Amino acid sequence: MAAHTDSTARTIHTDEPQLSNRSNWNNHVRRHATMQPTNVALRFQGRSITWRELDDRVSRFAGALKERGVGFGDRVLIVMLNRPEYLEAVLAINALGALAVPVNFRMTPPEVAFLALNSGSTIVITDETLTPLVDAVVKQADSPPVVITVGESYERLLAESEPAAAVDVPDDASALIIYTSGTTGRPKGAVLTHANMQAQAFTCIRALQMSETDEVGFCASPMFHIAALGSLAPSLLLGITTVIYPVGAFDPGTLLDVLAAERVTNLFLVPVQWQAMCAEQSRSPRKLALRVISWGAAPASDTVLKAMSATFPDALNVAVFGQTEMSPITCVLDGSDALRKIGSVGRVIPTIAARVVDDEMNDVAQGEIGEIVYRGPTLMRGYWENPDATADAFHGGWFHSGDLVRQDEEGFVFVVDRKKDMIISGGENIYCAEVENVLFSHPRILEAAVIGRLDDKWGEVPVAVVALHDSQNTPDLTLEELTVWLGDHLARFKHPKDLVIVDALPRNASGKVLKVSLRKTYSPTPA
């Protein structure tokens, strides 16, 4: 091994050049396996995995993947439910310098097959529950991928595999391809680097004040989503125990029982889940250790925020906002400002730069509406195998979020709408998010989404799709009643011209309303 001489003329001899000072989560696991080997890294349904065990299992799985031809820059699809093996798979793939490709298990076989083909994945890691989905995907492939199934055979695989030799993975190497949720069209694969996830870890540590020695993290979001992997990044960096929660029907009582038993200190949920949690905790209080409660992915009404404050008075209430391409957090709203700045997603985090611009990339005046654009260390490398979409997203030298916002005199950001969701009716701009925020405050409306429908006279008109409180026990809300109520809250031209009542709004795994689905059903494009 050649010696390296630095600028001070000292000679440094090492068998692992650059390996130990790389800032990737594999190195964090190795460090904790050395410094706190018997401390618990992961908890799952009563099962504990120590840092030493996690490091060994990851290294052995990496060895098994290497034997199957996985090398630097290769892609591996992951189709699994929430479980420790999910994280083991991501870490093992990354240990070889390969890219993990998490996939939404709720997709259909053709949708998953598209992601496998688009990413060029030659191996699929799954679990026994999702075997039928993966089998259907394999049947559609011209070159069927190798399938590794988590279960008894997986444990034998680890036992029989030799630990993989360490690979030097630069901080700017690609780690993940996270496909966008596809709420507005076909998914695009955002390529995120190890440096992106390291910056995300620092963002979470600051925003969620993860400074205590007894912190216990919690991963409730589906692990194929950036919200889950982003929440794991600070735990892996700091060596914090993380409780992984299985994916299934949301039950606030069961979740509260787990939080109490595991002494969880930090919890992220979407607003509709927090609403149910507050009701259940008020009905049957548990002794909890929560210090920070956080929310995002959808707007929270003042009713929900007040309920969170009253139900969990000792916890810091933090809102986080962002998107997959930014790893994902871009704005944070501290609990002290939550009610004072109702409707805001907070201030831009200090580690990124942001501007609010018009279509010509000129900064708009304070308080005016424009698109928020970003630069910074959490920004993705680009969209996988999609140079046109990448060039479009980065035109003008900044990443275009697609979010229309306004910024007040204190720097707080208010999201007005998604750029693609804006309705132009009779020459007037109608921002769906603005109308939705008003609808949320109606005493009978539980959930609301606004979409545009083509109209011969106005070009487009807004349509409200809502779910009601106790809709089975009371007459349905009528459009006429809603219009009268809106008269005191919203300009007439912004009023919905139709009202659709549903049991619940369709949402993706991150809690975002699937407006594509709503448009197909309630606002179809004419043939």
Dist. CA 127–CA 134, nearest whole Å:
9
Which one-letter amino acid corresponds to residue 379?
Answer: L
Dist. CA 80–CA 89, nearest whole Å:
10
Distances from the Cα of 123 to the Cα of 87, 97, 246, angstroms:
16, 15, 24
Residue 499: what are its φ and ψ, rounded to 5°? Answer: -130, 125
In sequence order, the β-bridge partners of residue 126 are 79, 149
Dist. CA 94–CA 72, nearest whole Å:
9
Q: Which residues contact 20 (CB under 8 A, 6 or more apart)?
A: 27
- Give the residue from 239, 229, 85, 203 showing the smallest Cα distance to 148: 85
Dist. CA 93–CA 101, nearest whole Å:
10
The token pair that represents 107 in the structure block: 């997709």
Q: Where are the domains of the chain?
A: 17-195, 249-419, 423-522
Dist. CA 24–CA 196, nearest whole Å:
10
- Give the residue from 105, 139, 144, 140 showing the smallest Cα distance to 121: 144
pLDDT at 24: 95
How many of the other CB atoms lie within 10 Å of CB of 280?
A: 18
Pairing verdict, β 353-357 and 370-375: antiparallel
Please determine whether the domains at 17-195 and 249-419 fall in the same fold group of CATH: yes
Dist. CA 36–CA 32, nearest whole Å:
5
User: Between the CA atoms of 177, 178, 182 and 186, what dihedral angle is there, to the nearest 10 degrees?
Assistant: 0
The token pair that represents 220 in the structure block: 């409730």
Which one-letter amino acid corresponds to residue 190?
Answer: A
Dist. CA 413–CA 433, nearest whole Å:
14
**Stated length of the chain:** 527
Residue with tokens 């005199």: 409
Dist. CA 2–CA 17, nearest whole Å:
10
- Give the residue from 389, 387, 412, 400 showing the smallest Cα distance to 360: 400
Dist. CA 55–CA 493, nearest whole Å:
60
Q: Which residues contact 284 (CB under 8 A, 6 or more apart)?
A: 253, 256
Cβ proximity of 246 and 268 under 8 Å: no
Rounded to 5°, angle at Cα 295 from 289 and 382: 125
Which class for 510: exposed (0-12), middle (13-18), buried (19 or more C-beta within 10 A)? buried
Dist. CA 224–CA 73, nearest whole Å:
20
Residue 363: what are its φ and ψ, rounded to 5°? Answer: -65, 135
pLDDT at 10: 46
Which one-letter amino acid corresponds to residue 259?
Answer: L
Whether pTM > 0.85 for this model: the answer is: no
pLDDT at 107: 83
SS3 call for 100: strand
What homologous superfamily is domain 423-522 in, according to CATH? ANL, C-terminal domain (3.30.300.30)
Dist. CA 476–CA 114, nearest whole Å:
41
How many of the other CB atoms lie within 10 Å of CB of 373?
A: 22
pLDDT at 74: 98
CATH number assigned to the domain covering 17-195: 3.40.50.12780
How many of the other CB atoms lie within 10 Å of CB of 281?
A: 19
- Give the residue from 435, 415, 413, 438 showing the smallest Cα distance to 425: 435
Assign a CATH topology to domain 249-419: Rossmann fold (3.40.50)
pLDDT in tens, the chain (527 residues): 344 444 444 444 555 656 778 989 999 999 999 999 999 999 999 999 999 999 999 999 999 999 999 999 999 999 999 999 999 999 999 999 999 999 989 888 888 998 999 999 999 999 999 999 999 999 988 888 999 999 889 999 999 999 999 899 999 999 999 998 654 456 899 999 999 999 999 999 999 999 888 999 999 999 998 999 999 999 999 999 999 999 887 899 999 999 999 999 999 998 878 989 999 999 999 999 999 999 887 667 777 888 999 999 999 999 999 999 999 999 999 878 877 888 789 999 999 999 999 999 999 999 999 999 999 999 999 999 999 999 999 999 999 998 889 999 999 999 887 777 778 787 677 878 778 888 988 989 998 999 988 887 777 899 999 999 876 667 889 999 999 999 878 878 889 999 999 999 988 766 678 887 888 888 775 54
Dist. CA 279–CA 54, nearest whole Å:
37
DSSP at 512: -
pLDDT at 3: 42
- Give the residue from 418, 337, 307 showing the smallest Cα distance to 371: 418
Cβ proximity of 383 and 390 under 8 Å: yes
